Chain A
């Protein structure tokens, strides 16, 4: 498993001599110190279907998102990827007409069951949204700490240290360390998104869901966030929705291809498996077509 990961990362070959390499090494060391090599969690969805009103948008999706791996959900627009992602931390039910069936378990515990309150679930399974959404009335530091305040969880770690380690893990510390009191909205789009990642990390979630986190960002910011994801996956399980095939190939270990076959039909998982296999030798013709850009 570890060997696999290393192989994959070498394969992805991010330039090792780059100016950020040392920085990342330092951040990794810090991140490890902060979380003391906590084992990540497994998130398993079992025959999940979803509806908006009477319209079925997702049909019997079963997918295991393994610990310490990045799982990418790919597929054309409107195929239910984001809906599936939002089911994984109970954001789906915020839409008044939304309903679902099937089960989602986090390390064997049903997140829709009586054992977990909805707020606990969301605390354990963090989310980063498509559009960066830092709280505009809060400073950078307050944004990072907002999760603690909002969820009412008590942190044993020193606040200052938590801010630093979270920002380091999100790859933002060096850029903002001199102006932690500036408003979050004063940052660039890419920085805002990394601030949102830091905010999600500060409550130390077991799983991090990312809904097209780079779609509004420039290539440089995208690169930094992708690097960040590869570091983070050492401690948290990551599920990412992306429209970008190259991104899925670069960052993910596992990949699931969603597709709506005909109009008005719900989305299904056509093929899921190791990213190298899915991109190298897809079993399904539709997967091959999509990956090679013949549609979607």
Chain B
């Protein structure tokens, strides 16, 4: 009886006679071996199941293997380390699996785009257009699309970012009587499907007013999509500026506009820059509204306000659907350039967002 009770309350035997300092989350070689062992036995079990029942299919096998692995690993850990450690280990493994699963598609996309896109990544891609370039010709590039993307997104950003930051200031600093209404509109706008923004500009500007397709029409659709994202992000950035700084400024006899201009905005600067650039990065990839507003083109058109233009998403969309390997390869290069453009923007956000003066110079 006494022995029984002893066994149930005894902790796992220490491997050494003296008290080893242990941590619940300490990870040793033995723990690695446990994982490997569990994985191998789960694989064996899966193989047994599949040959016995004559199942097949890789996905099912992986799924069954993973479930078996978790169950086996849990019982091993339970036997060796006890309940608490076992739960901790299993949760760690499950979370690590989740994180890697989320990471895999990202890495695959990058690898895919880079390997497929490298073929046509040369100087000509940045200087030539698709005009009078036969599908099998050498050269031919996306110069006209890059110009279009930069013009359309640049124009949209130039209009939308100041508007969005001013709206955020109104919402968080002025807190005017319309703040509730404005916030409601911004929130609903951020859920607007991008194709609807394109449809709106198409029916109103392109058709109703008879202005026709143009880069500017695309910019307008982008502005509609741009404002809510940047406003919400900017508002968050203004909200984290401590109130004590606003009070300090007001207590020095500053009017509110100067408090915003000289204290709040400088303190939120890095966050606001990030918000603006991340918004821009999203807008660069918009395709659906551009089909309806910019239309696309094979030729260079510098004028963003007149006639149809091209941009990188439209370039990709058009070429990837063509029945020609060279054109499809060009589409991948377009995708690569688009990804690089976004990468440049993200890097810019990091560099500009960093405070130039460190706390201790």
Interface residues of A (CB under 8 A from B): 89, 91, 94, 119-123, 126-127, 129, 131, 133-139, 146-147, 149-153, 179, 181-183, 185-186, 196, 199-200, 203
Contact = CB atoms under 8 A, between A and B. Distances in A.
Contact of A129 (B248, B258, B266, B361): B248
A133 B245 contact: yes
B248 A152 contact: no
Interface string B270-302: 000000000000000000000000000000000
B248 A151 contact: no
B259 interface: yes
A120 B361 contact: no
Interface string B237-275: 000001011011111111100110011001101000000
Given A94-B247, A129-B244, A147 B252 contact: yes
Contacts of A199: 248, 252
B357 interface: yes
Contacts of B251: 89, 91, 122, 126-127, 129, 200
B208 interface: no
B255 A119 contact: yes
Given A119-B253, A146-B252, A153-B253, A131 B258 contact: no
A149 B262 contact: yes
B248 A181 contact: no
B359 A150 contact: no
A150 B258 contact: yes
Contacts of B255: 119, 152
A133 B251 CA distance: 12
A170 to B, nearest CB: 15
B250 A91 contact: yes
A120 B249 CA distance: 13
B244 A131 contact: yes
Interface in B330-361: 355, 357-361
B360 A182 contact: yes
Contacts of B355: 137
Contacts of B249: 135, 146, 150
Contacts of A129: 244, 247-248, 251
A94 B175 CA distance: 12
Contacts of B244: 129, 131, 133
B221 to A, nearest CB: 36
Interface residues of B, number: 25
Contacts of A146: 249, 252, 262
Interface of B is mostly: helix
Interface string B304-340: 0000000000000000000000000000000000000
Interface of B: 242, 244-245, 247-255, 258-259, 262-263, 266-267, 269, 355, 357-361
A123 to B, nearest CB: 3
Interface of A is mostly: mixed
Given A133-B245, A135-B245, A182 B253 contact: no
B360 A152 contact: no
A137 B359 contact: no
Contacts of A120: 253
30 contacts: A91-B251, A122-B251, A123-B252, A126-B252, A133-B242, A133-B244, A134-B248, A135-B248, A135-B249, A135-B263, A137-B266, A138-B266, A139-B357, A147-B252, A149-B258, A150-B249, A150-B252, A150-B259, A150-B263, A151-B253, A152-B258, A179-B361, A183-B359, A183-B360, A183-B361, A185-B359, A186-B360, A199-B252, A200-B251, A203-B253
Contacts of B360: 182-183, 186
Contact of A91 (B247, B254, B262, B357): B247
What are the 4 A-B residue pairs with the smallest beta carbon separation, nearest first?
Answer: A123-B253, A150-B254, A151-B253, A127-B251
A183 B356 CA distance: 11
Contacts of A133: 242, 244-245, 247-248
A130 to B, nearest CB: 9
Most buried by B among A89, A131, A181, A183: A183
Given A133-B248, A136-B267, A149-B262, A183 B253 contact: no
A153 B252 CA distance: 11
A203 to B, nearest CB: 6
B178 to A, nearest CB: 16
Contacts of B258: 149-152
Contacts of A181: 361
Given A91-B247, A120-B253, 12 more contacts: A94-B250, A119-B254, A126-B252, A129-B244, A133-B247, A135-B249, A150-B258, A150-B263, A152-B255, A179-B361, A183-B359, A186-B361
A242 B355 CA distance: 36
A181 B359 CA distance: 11
A284 to B, nearest CB: 33
B231 to A, nearest CB: 22
A112 to B, nearest CB: 16
Most buried by B among A89, A135, A196: A135
A147 B253 contact: yes
A133 B267 CA distance: 13
A153 B357 CA distance: 28
